[in-house]
């Protein structure tokens, strides 16, 4: 491992992000804020949703924002660099093992996902107040869950970016990300599926379920949620699985 090369590539990604700040800002926060405003403000004030739904909704929106940001930040540049810009060839010449090039991208994506998730909290509080009730009883658990969710999104972006061709980008959103969101307990707790026992068990293969339930359990524990211990174990397992898969695919594409 060459830390100087690693940090140099990370600094380059930071500079690119700073130059594209407005585009990244709109891409990261526009959709979550629209969800917050429509579901948490319009639907509640119109009487279609109870007042408590504001607090229930926030962790799910935070999870969506982190997952979209991490996947987009890692997957889209990889698809471009491997398939048409060939910019990845310059990175592969860095004086360090090939896998660390991919890990740098995961690290950068994790940071972006963390920022995207944490900014949702004050933004949603400003839009939805009064009525939003946070109850952060265990800050350490919240920090662990948030980091694991951000890492999951970046590792998922690595796996997808190294597995999907440019002509299948639309398919990635329609067949992977959209079902993940709607069956990821983002707009409702996992216990709401009690009336659909088969579906309730099937959705447990969706890592976004653990992201949403983990954030819900640490931010608004007054609502039903999965055990934080189970969430931490499952998110760690998904992180390891997706990172291993992504690194294998990255090495394969880099060598070929």
Cis peptide before 34 (omega within 30 of 0): no
Helices (H), 162-223: 169-172, 178-182, 197-202, 207-219
The pLDDT of residue 27? 67
SS3 of 137-152:
CCHHHHHHHHHHHHHH
C-alpha to C-alpha distance for 160 and 174, rounded to whole angstroms: 13
What does each C-alpha distance from 133 to 39, 115, 229 come to in angstroms? 16, 21, 23
The pLDDT of residue 7? 81
Would you mind telling me the total number of residues written for the chain in this entry?
256
Q: Which residue has the higher pLDDT, 37 or 197?
A: 197
Residue 200 structure tokens: 């309730």
Comparing C-alpha atoms, which of 1, 18, 68, 58 is closest to residue 216?
58
pLDDT value at 35 more than 70: yes
C-alpha to C-alpha distance for 162 and 154, rounded to whole angstroms: 12
The residues, ordered by sequence, that sit 6+ positions from 228 with a Cβ below 8 Å of its Cβ are 138, 141, 145, 214, 217, 218
C-alpha to C-alpha distance for 49 and 156, rounded to whole angstroms: 33
Residue 234 structure tokens: 């499952």
Element holding 100 (H helix, E strand): helix 98-128
What confidence tens digit (pLDDT) does each residue in 74-129 have? 888 888 777 766 667 777 777 778 888 889 899 989 998 998 888 888 877 777 77
The pLDDT of residue 30? 74
What confidence tens digit (pLDDT) does each residue in 42-54 have? 777 777 777 777 7
As a whole number, mean pLDDT of residues 4-22 equals 77
Percentage with pLDDT > 90 across the chain: 29
Residue with tokens 């992201």, as numbered in its chain: 211
The pLDDT of residue 231? 95
Residue 189 structure tokens: 């707790």
Angle between helices 98-128 and 3-19 (to 10 degrees): 40
What confidence tens digit (pLDDT) does each residue in 200-240 have? 999 999 999 999 999 999 988 888 889 999 999 999 999 99
Q: Domain residues of the chain, as ranges? A: 3-255
As a whole number, mean pLDDT of residues 178-188 equals 87
What confidence tens digit (pLDDT) does each residue in 131-161 have? 677 777 788 999 999 999 999 999 999 998 8
């Amino acid at each position: 491992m060459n830390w100087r090369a690693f940090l140099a590539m990370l600094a380059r990604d930071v500079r690119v992000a700073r130059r594209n700040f407005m585009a990244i800002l709109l891409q990261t926060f526009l959709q979550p804020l629209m969800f917050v405003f429509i579901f948490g403000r319009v639907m509640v004030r119109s009487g279609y949703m109870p007042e408590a739904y504001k607090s229930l909704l926030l962790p799910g929106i935070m999870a969506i924002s982190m997952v979209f940001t991490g996947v987009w930040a890692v997957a889209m540049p990889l698809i471009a660099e491997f398939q048409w810009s060939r910019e990845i060839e310059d990175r592969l010449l860095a004086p360090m093992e090939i896998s660390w090039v991919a890990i740098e991208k995961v690290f950068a994506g994790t940071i972006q996902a963390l920022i995207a998730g944490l900014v949702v909290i004050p933004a949603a509080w400003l839009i939805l107040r009064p009525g939003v009730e946070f109850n952060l009883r265990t800050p350490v658990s919240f920090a662990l869950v948030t980091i694991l969710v951000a890492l999951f999104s970046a590792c998922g972006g690595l796996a997808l970016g190294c597995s999907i061709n440019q002509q299948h980008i639309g398919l990635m959103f329609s067949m992977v990300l959209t079902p993940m969101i709607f069956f990821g307990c983002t707009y409702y707790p996992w216990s709401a599926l009690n009336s659909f026992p088969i579906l309730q068990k099937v959705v447990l293969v969706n890592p976004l379920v653990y992201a949403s339930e983990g954030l819900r359990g640490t931010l608004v524990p007054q609502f039903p949620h999965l055990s934080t211990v189970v969430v931490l174990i499952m998110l760690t397992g998904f992180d390891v699985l997706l990172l291993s898969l992504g690194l294998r695919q990255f090495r394969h594409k880099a060598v070929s």
